[in-house]
Amino acid sequence: MIEESQNNLQLDDCDAGGQMSSGLKSMQHRGVQFSMREEVPGEWRYSFEVDGKAISGKTRTRLQLLAVRRIKDRINRELNRSHGT
């Protein structure tokens, strides 16, 4: 189990190599609920909503934890843009 106490993210189903089982995952970062899934090996689709605006995209990486990091970075950019900071 990997825990990130800063935003209460828990990823319970990682294997020993840090990979997670495929399928739709729903998580939260800075109060924003997001979902992600591996569309094809190495390509992750994600979606979330900030201030009523639906945002979706994809990122390419074989490591799911890196995909999560990239999605959280995207959420941070959108939050900063919407709050003017």
Q: Where are the domains of the chain?
A: 2-83
Paired strand residues for 56: 47
Euclidean distance between CA atoms 40 and 9, whole angstroms: 24
Q: Can you give the C-alpha Rg of the chain in angstroms?
A: 13
User: What pLDDT is recorded for position 46?
Assistant: 98
Q: Give the number of other Cβ atoms within 10 Å of residue 39's Cβ.
A: 11
The amino acid sitting at 43 is E
User: What pLDDT is recorded for position 14?
Assistant: 47
Q: 23-44, pLDDT tens digit by residue?
A: 899 999 999 999 999 999 999 9
Residue ranges for the chain with pLDDT beneath 50: 1-18
